[in-house]
Structure 1
């Protein structure tokens, strides 16, 4: 008698579809192997095994041929990493060559959009930032002006750049530019074109440079859109005088006159006034007006006189050097023996600052702008002519400037700004179209707005803070200004009465 379990096993095999598929696969493989020529199979295995060795041989041969060709038929120019020219060339290659190819290698970085418009509540939230992917390349070949070029980036310097938190994926690695031929003139023309391209791109922006986190070199800190001078509100006559003076200084004929008379080609300005009156903003606007880069030096952050001297020695001639908070040096002679309280004091000395401004080895050709909130502290030796050639007082806002600021805030939006809902209700019923603010009405609102602003009381930044609350409606701004002024005046008069809450200890 047949055992019962054999029948069950046979029955399950018969009903299991996976077993049928496996048996079918075995039959197919067996049929294919039986018809396969073992000699051909061995030849195929031998070819597969020899492929890596052949590939290594081809790579070695290519390196030898390429080294021979590059030595005799290719000219090179090397641009060090972190040099400003390096960034210009890299940006040109990324824009005009790499982006038109199928790129499979990218540099990812957190994208922060400068000047992005967002509602105030969103700015206070912790939101996930966008990711920006920049095309990355190591070696790229391209034709340009009937010449074959190759641009290579050093991997070693690239890895070093990635460690730096300020690295943005553009520039920073040593570049080697090669051109097929015995002459380097095509490479020089290419570099010149890269510079011209960078100049065209930068005409709408101001590049602000600052020292890196190690204090070793100047690095681009930010790129800001050019700010118009009319957005900085102070005396119009003084503004025109300042522009005329800088324009005359930058005239090439002025430089020739200075040199022919053996005079140092320098110009210095002092911007002073209360905090929030636009001293730094005016410096940025002037850099944009005259197409100059801005080199920012925060005096309280400079460690020693030697560091300050090194900073000035590395500043290029055609630029603006912004020395902020020069009163931190505590240069007033009669206060030298007084112990300062609650003040930020720089480690730099007066003699160190004077030396970089007009010492024997101080560079020429740059514009130096010093800012301070406390001009009475500055030593007379610092502000004498030759070191400070013009003083600009930036004070509180006037009625006329307040009116100009109102028009600037809303004039460009006169075709889209709605009136108050209460005024919309006065229109004929059934009209869903929102009424618009025209230029004439806006000027009346600006004039009414200015009547509520007391002379020489509020700083431009205070008034700008008010406008931020009403950017979408000029009617609300004009109607709410009087209440805001009353609150600000009462808050200012009661500052001395603020209750100081202690830590609970007697």
Structure 2
């Protein structure tokens, strides 16, 4: 036994009041950095370390091995510095939890890294007396609840990492569903359908119907497809798993495994499905063809061994390019057209932007006199009439183009410049 190991064992025995012969009374819990609990626990330790430092509590032992995480608060125009989080670095640490001493050993293997992220393999091992083993679940539950508090009002985006899903970036703030202006009744129809599906688990089971639901949002670019999916996920308190069928290294087996192991309360999003499969042929802008076959994709969607309890949203700008086998019921249960702006959509978006009479970003628009509600309604009617006339002449305008116009202009300027956006479709 090396000197460091012997000294570590001696310190451990002394801390727990055990002789070498009775160390078998210890129990250990190991977590690796692929498990969500790993980040939750380190965050919990950082939070309690900071609280102990502020209150000068003696229940947390000082450590010589620390790590730092710089925290920023994002403002509207720039990131403003907030502070630092100090947590346990690689090494040995001790703390007391609900009267029980616990040892934490954080180890990092620099020779083994995640190929896609470059993050080294890490493990955390918590050791305590066997009699206190029930505290592990209490501690992890507390760490999870603390992490969830930080994500309240947000949704997480996941991407594939080998055969697993991992969070991508920081959680995003939920987008109110009313902020996505669709044609009359469309948003309500989709939300009702999803909620009805979620409430009918037993109904599906009783009739032997696979418990999964597929949606296809189709229509021209800028019609709000991706924004609506983000908003509906936030409304349901679901996360989003983004799947790119053209990803290099993605094959039928890996695709099947990913779709069979979706995180709980998550929507799978496959954007621009026509870019992956044009009819039954693979397609990709840079000429690269992934290993996912059309038949493999269909089997992953609804084959004999495909997963249950799944909601999938697919989007396309060109539904005519999709094979009928892909969009049949059972794979696509609810096709929804999200088109260019209708007259009523344009009016509702205008009113949503300018209902305060000033506009969202009036500081960079032409100076305009404040509007009263009657003047605002008159301008909204004028915009609605312009869109209706353009449609009668075969011209259209996207919701994204209108939104960009409204952001950069006051209400009067927006209405006067609107005609320049109309394009022949």
1:287 equivalenced with 2:221 (yes/no): no
Calculate the aligned-residue CA RMSD, in Å: 4.0
Q: Secondary structure at the match of 2:77?
A: coil
Q: Please give the TM-score of this superposition, normalised by the length of structure 2.
A: 0.78
CA change 1:408–1:112 in 2 (3 A) is farther
Q: Distance in 2 between matches of 1:88 and 1:469?
A: 41
Q: Distance in 2 between matches of 1:151 and 1:381?
A: 57
Alpha-carbon distance, 1:160 to partner: 5.6
Correspondent of 1:135 among 86, 104, 109: 86
1:224 equivalenced with 2:168 (yes/no): no
1:83 equivalenced with 2:35 (yes/no): yes
Correspondent of 2:269 among 306, 322, 326: 322
Correspondent of 2:77 among 112, 115, 118: 118
1:107 equivalenced with 2:81 (yes/no): no
Q: Secondary structure at the match of 1:82?
A: coil
Asked if the contact 1:448/1:478 (under 8 Å) is kept, the reply is no
1:458 equivalenced with 2:392 (yes/no): no
Alpha-carbon distance, 1:298 to partner: 1.5
Equivalenced residues, count: 400
Alpha-carbon distance, 1:95 to partner: 2.6
Asked if the contact 2:298/2:326 (under 8 Å) is kept, the reply is yes
CA change 1:60–1:323 in 2 (3 A) is closer
Q: Distance in 1 between matches of 2:25 and 2:155?
A: 41
Q: Distance in 2 between matches of 1:341 and 1:95?
A: 46
Which of the pair is proportionally richer in strand? Answer: 2
Per-residue displacement from partner, 1:432-458 (whole Å, max 9, x unpaired)?
xxxx66666555544444444445711
1:203 equivalenced with 2:164 (yes/no): no
Q: Distance in 1 between matches of 2:135 and 2:283?
A: 63
Alpha-carbon distance, 1:390 to partner: 0.5
Per-residue displacement from partner, 1:2-44 (whole Å, max 9, x unpaired)?
xxxxxxxxxxxxxxxxxxxxxxxxxxxxxxxxxxxxxxxxxxx
Asked if the contact 1:258/1:264 (under 8 Å) is kept, the reply is yes
1:478 equivalenced with 2:412 (yes/no): yes
Per-residue displacement from partner, 1:83-126 (whole Å, max 9, x unpaired)?
123223332332344454278834356x7866x5339xxxxxxx
1:301 equivalenced with 2:247 (yes/no): yes
1:155 equivalenced with 2:107 (yes/no): yes
Q: Secondary structure at the match of 1:236?
A: coil
CA change 1:142–1:415 in 2 (3 A) is farther
| 1:405-420 equivalence runs, <5 A | 405-411=349-355
Which of the pair is proportionally richer in helix? Answer: 1
1:190 equivalenced with 2:136 (yes/no): no
Which runs of 5 or more structure 2 residues have no equivalent in the other structure? 55-61
Alpha-carbon distance, 1:210 to partner: 0.8
Asked if the contact 1:151/1:175 (under 8 Å) is kept, the reply is no
| Structure possessing the higher radius of gyration over alpha carbons | 1
Asked if the contact 2:278/2:323 (under 8 Å) is kept, the reply is yes
| 1:428-439 equivalence runs, <5 A | none
Which runs of 5 or more structure 1 residues have no equivalent in the other structure? 1-54, 120-127, 424-435, 471-475, 496-506
Q: Please give the TM-score of this superposition, normalised by the length of structure 1.
A: 0.67
CA change 1:182–1:161 in 2 (3 A) is farther
The residue aligned with 2:47 is 95
Correspondent of 1:353 among 293, 297, 301: 297
Per-residue displacement from partner, 1:151-178 (whole Å, max 9, x unpaired)?
63522258866997576xxx97323234
| 1:237-316 equivalence runs, <5 A | 237-251=185-199, 254-301=200-247, 303-316=250-263
